[in-house]
Structure 1
Amino acid sequence: MALGTNSIANAFCAAKDQIARDFNRLAKSVDGQFRTPLLAVTNELVAQDRLIAKNFVGAPSHFKPHASADAWRSGPRRWWFFDAIDNFRDVGGLMTHDGRSVRYGVLFRSGTPQCATDEDVVRLLARGIGKILDLRSEREAKTPGNWPGESVTITLSGNPDRVNALHKDKANVPRRDLPSIYRSMPAHSGDALVAALREMLDTDGATLAHCLNGRDRTAFFIAVPLDAIGVKRSAIMDDYLMSDFRTGTCEDLGRKPVRPPEREAMQAMFDALDEYGGAAEYLRAHGFTDSELAAMSDRLLTR
């Protein structure tokens, strides 16, 4: 049976992903002058993956950079490999309803950088990052010891154990029920989110937001403001669904598998926001002003 174009694209992307993983493992096993060129090759493979996937509707979901043809705007690469930072990507390129897009080089997301090597810090600085927003608890938070920029810890209630403790009928909420967790985030994290957004606005450089794996709490921090300034939910959803891409580089976290993101979870968060009248109204209800919304739009969106 002849392979269709999409099947070929799937196979090609999957093969390139495996090659990229192999190069990444090889880079971590060598020292000195060979590490940097190996990581450079890996990064270039990732950049090519993005370009390939943009042109094939049937590309694997974790490569596919848009939910529909007009949900994503091509531009600079979004993904980089680090020695010990997972899920690092630029939020740039997501399309708005009025035809604009999120600017590249302004807002980044990742898993924890607590294991960052000296080379990783250099790579972060090369991205223009001036402030790191750590969305974990004070107990969890560990800033890279050699990070020269500003780091702020603002706890969001996205940790499954903490969120489940907030449910009145705890017995009826499965411990790892992601949709229930995501639906409860807006009710318990509004003030913290507004504080984090104000920190983002109060920096001259780019911002990196992260939690532990770069999935749940980071998803809330990214999704709400983008929704509020008119980014398409299909694009926000698609970016979220890439949050299990290439994990497991921070040795501090061990090698336990990370549960992949769930479309139903993000949709549950959107549904909860709609009960406030939308993301913008949700932020206003927690003290975020119209002038701050305008400033956030100016900062994050192309003109």
Structure 2
Amino acid sequence: MEMRTIGIDGLFNARATSASAPWLIRTGAPDALSADGVSTLRALGVSVIIDLREPSEVSVAEHGIPVRSVGIYGAEPPQTGRLEDVYEALLRERGAALAVAVGLVADAEGAALVHCTAGKDRTGLVVALARLAAGDSAEQVVEDYVLSEPDVRPVRERHALAVAGALPAAEREETLRLHLASPREAIEHALAVIDGLGGAAAYLTGNGLSDPQLRELRRKRQAAT
């Protein structure tokens, strides 16, 4: 199942499993979500917004849609580092948090909207795990992930340049890649780590996802095909 780019006023980097009746939506931070955007989300059946940010990143929500917060890093988000290393560390060290987030997707009565700040890294891992466990292919996950950069760059570039500008020249390129890029090789590395840990379903259930939640993910995907 492909993720479709959708337009929602006040959101960026937004894609969904369906343009009309999705079970999963991914976006960047909804801090600028408008009243029209809220109406669109309600029309799409969004019953919960899953916020993967840390408390220091979160602004007050005024949209009225229930929000469940799951801090994926469990600490302040990294400002420097290699993208592949960040993903691997999250998969190896934060499996319980990732499984909680995927469980919230499974438990949603309607559609679940998953977001972090840019909607590419934390969101990318949670969406990848949920989709793989539901039955989507690795290639479908990769093709979705690589779509983020053009939407993320204009929103996050100023912040990324400020961070990179304060670093030694040798670290700047990797830092800009961390904040702005969604390269195929980064998510492929993450998927290889997941495979090495037994695959998405085994990884998630080993970290706390229940068997009924796993079945519900598969049911949601099947119902949407």
Relative to structure 1, is the Cα distance of residues 154 and 223 closer, same or farther in structure 2, using a 3 angstrom cutoff?
Answer: same
Q: Is the 8 A contact 2:23 2:111 kept in 1?
A: yes
Rounded to whole Å, the distance in 1 between the matches of 2:84 and 2:112 is: 27
Query: What CA deviation, in whole Å up to 9, does each residue of 1:194-249 have, x standing for no partner?
Result: 22222223332211000001100000110012222331101100000001233478
> Map of 1:113-124 to 2, 5 A cutoff?
113-124=30-41
Q: Is the 8 A contact 1:154 1:195 kept in 2?
A: yes
Q: Is the 8 A contact 2:100 2:209 kept in 1?
A: no
> Map of 1:197-212 to 2, 5 A cutoff?
197-212=102-117
Please tell me the residue identity of whatever aligns with 2:119.
G
> Map of 1:145-294 to 2, 5 A cutoff?
145=62, 147-157=63-73, 162=77, 175-247=80-152, 255-256=158-159, 259-294=180-215
Relative to structure 1, is the Cα distance of residues 205 and 104 closer, same or farther in structure 2, using a 3 angstrom cutoff?
Answer: closer
Relative to structure 1, is the Cα distance of residues 136 and 126 closer, same or farther in structure 2, using a 3 angstrom cutoff?
Answer: same
Rounded to whole Å, the distance in 2 between the matches of 1:273 and 1:254 is: 30
**Aligned-pair identity (%):** 26
Rounded to whole Å, the distance in 2 between the matches of 1:285 and 1:205 is: 26
Q: Is the 8 A contact 1:106 1:300 kept in 2?
A: yes
Rounded to whole Å, the distance in 2 between the matches of 1:198 and 1:224 is: 11
Pairing 1:91–2:7 present: no
TM-score (norm 1): 0.61
Q: Is the 8 A contact 1:83 1:249 kept in 2?
A: no
Select the structure that is richer in helix. 2
Rounded to whole Å, the distance in 2 between the matches of 1:130 and 1:112 is: 17
* Post-superposition offset of 1:178: 0.6
Matching residue within 49, 58, 66 for 1:141: 58
Rounded to whole Å, the distance in 2 between the matches of 1:205 and 1:256 is: 34
Please tell me the residue identity of whatever aligns with 1:151.
V
Query: What CA deviation, in whole Å up to 9, does each residue of 1:176-204 have, x standing for no partner?
Result: 31111112221122111222222223332
Question: SS of 2:47's equivalent?
Answer: strand
Rounded to whole Å, the distance in 2 between the matches of 1:162 and 1:248 is: 18
Rounded to whole Å, the distance in 1 between the matches of 2:58 and 2:140 is: 29
Q: Is the 8 A contact 2:135 2:221 kept in 1?
A: no
Rounded to whole Å, the distance in 1 between the matches of 2:89 and 2:195 is: 13
* Post-superposition offset of 1:158: 9.0
Query: What CA deviation, in whole Å up to 9, does each residue of 1:81-125 have, x standing for no partner?
Result: 3442111110349xxxxxxxxx95111000000111222212221
Q: Is the 8 A contact 1:178 1:262 kept in 2?
A: no
- How many residue pairs get aligned? The number is 206
Please tell me the residue identity of whatever aligns with 1:212.
T
Rounded to whole Å, the distance in 2 between the matches of 1:139 and 1:259 is: 20
Query: What CA deviation, in whole Å up to 9, does each residue of 1:268-287 have, x standing for no partner?
Result: 11121122111111112112
Which residue is equivalent to 1:79? 5
Matching residue within 107, 124, 141 for 2:24: 107
Rounded to whole Å, the distance in 1 between the matches of 2:81 and 2:12 is: 22
Q: Structure 2, unaligned stretches of length 5 or more?
A: 161-178
Rounded to whole Å, the distance in 2 between the matches of 1:194 and 1:239 is: 20
Give the RMSD, CA atoms, in angstroms.
Answer: 2.7
Q: Is the 8 A contact 1:183 1:271 kept in 2?
A: no
| Larger RCO (alpha carbons 8 Å, 6+ apart) | 2
Rounded to whole Å, the distance in 1 between the matches of 2:107 and 2:216 is: 10
Q: Structure 1, unaligned stretches of length 5 or more?
A: 1-71, 94-102, 165-174
